[in-house]
């Protein structure tokens, strides 16, 4: 038993090591890394799926078949729940951007759910880039709506006495930049932690079943039976992760929509 746990600990280190991105060519700063490859693959799959959907529904208003209906359900979900819910009247202008963000994040998450494939959104580099897009977008929208000077001034709510307004302005400025960090870190941590937990259960399954395969005995059968428990747990975590992948895409989009709405809001 002691041996087994040492083995688990070694494999744990290996597992966590494997989730850090490694360059295929070049180095980590300038080059092409493993995560970039998976993210690129996710984007290509996303484009194929979206254009297949568009081709399928061309010239008709009624979607036919499972694929077209399923895609329409997701698009409607983003439109009604995220855009109309958070943005109100101006949803039409921001819907293309938010839908793009949603699909990029969702495919980036789901590509990691296939065995031996890695999540495209599994590193702070990729999530940071997507978060930066949405950060730039909502600031640009605020500036377009109010003008640069008025937008910067409007970070602090109107009608406050001057000294308090200055303090609130500094805090709001800080929290605006913090949004960029929290958007990126939330997505990255959810993907990373979920995959580590799944990996740990997979390692436990194989470690407990290994003695039974090597030389069969009653004791080995006992540990082998225990690996069924780990397997069930692994499947449960897998289902939860399928849910989390969708929820994270939803939250990322919803928060982007809320930030856009805050940037465009007139007065408080």
Partner 1 sequence: MNVIGYGMCVIGAALGIAIAAFAVANSMARQPEVQSRLFTVFILASAFIEALCLIGFVVAIM
> What is the smallest separation between the CB atom of 134 and partner 1, expressed in angstroms?
16
Kindly tell me which of 164 and 189 has the beta carbon lying closer to partner 1. 189
Kindly tell me which of 148 and 247 has the beta carbon lying closer to partner 1. 247
23 token code pair: 């360059």
Sites of contact with partner 1 (CB under 8 A):
16, 81, 185-186, 188-190, 192-193, 196, 244, 247-248, 250-251, 254
Kindly tell me which of 154 and 256 has the beta carbon lying closer to partner 1. 256
Kindly tell me which of 238 and 250 has the beta carbon lying closer to partner 1. 250
Q: List, in sequence order, every residue forming a beta bridge with 23; answer none if it has no partner.
A: 33
Kindly tell me which of 197 and 210 has the beta carbon lying closer to partner 1. 197
> What is the smallest separation between the CB atom of 190 and partner 1, expressed in angstroms?
6
> What is the smallest separation between the CB atom of 146 and partner 1, expressed in angstroms?
28
> What is the smallest separation between the CB atom of 81 and partner 1, expressed in angstroms?
8
**Residue 45 to residue 25: CA distance in whole angstroms:** 23
> What is the smallest separation between the CB atom of 53 and partner 1, expressed in angstroms?
25
> What is the smallest separation between the CB atom of 177 and partner 1, expressed in angstroms?
18
Kindly tell me which of 185 and 220 has the beta carbon lying closer to partner 1. 185
**Residue 123 to residue 227: CA distance in whole angstroms:** 31
């Amino acid at each position: 038993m002691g041996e087994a746990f040492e083995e688990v600990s070694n494999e744990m280190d290996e597992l966590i090591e494997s989730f850090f991105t490694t360059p295929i060519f070049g180095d980590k700063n300038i080059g092409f890394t493993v995560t970039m490859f998976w993210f690129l693959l996710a984007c290509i799959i996303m484009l194929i799926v979206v254009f297949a959907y568009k081709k399928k529904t061309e010239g008709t208003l009624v979607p036919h078949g499972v694929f077209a209906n399923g895609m329409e359900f997701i698009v409607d979900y983003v439109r009604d729940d995220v855009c109309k819910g958070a943005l109100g009247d101006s949803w039409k202008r921001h819907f293309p951007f938010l839908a793009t963000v949603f699909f990029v994040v969702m495919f980036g998450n789901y590509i990691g759910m296939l065995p031996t494939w890695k999540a495209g959104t599994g590193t702070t580099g990729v999530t940071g880039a997507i978060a930066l897009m949405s950060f730039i977008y909502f600031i640009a929208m605020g500036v377009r709506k109010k003008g640069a000077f008025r937008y910067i001034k409007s970070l602090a709510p109107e009608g406050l006495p001057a000294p308090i307004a200055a303090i609130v302005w500094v805090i709001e400025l800080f929290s605006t930049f913090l949004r960029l960090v929290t958007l990126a870190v939330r997505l990255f941590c959810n993907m990373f932690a979920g995959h580590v937990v799944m990996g740990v259960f997979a390692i436990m399954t194989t470690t407990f079943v290994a003695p039974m395969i090597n030389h069969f005995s009653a004791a080995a059968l006992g540990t082998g039976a225990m690996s069924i428990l780990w397997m069930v747990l692994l499947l449960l975590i897998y289902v939860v992760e399928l849910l989390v992948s969708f929820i994270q895409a939803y939250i990322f989009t919803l928060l982007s929509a809320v930030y856009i709405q805050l940037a465009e809001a007139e007065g408080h």
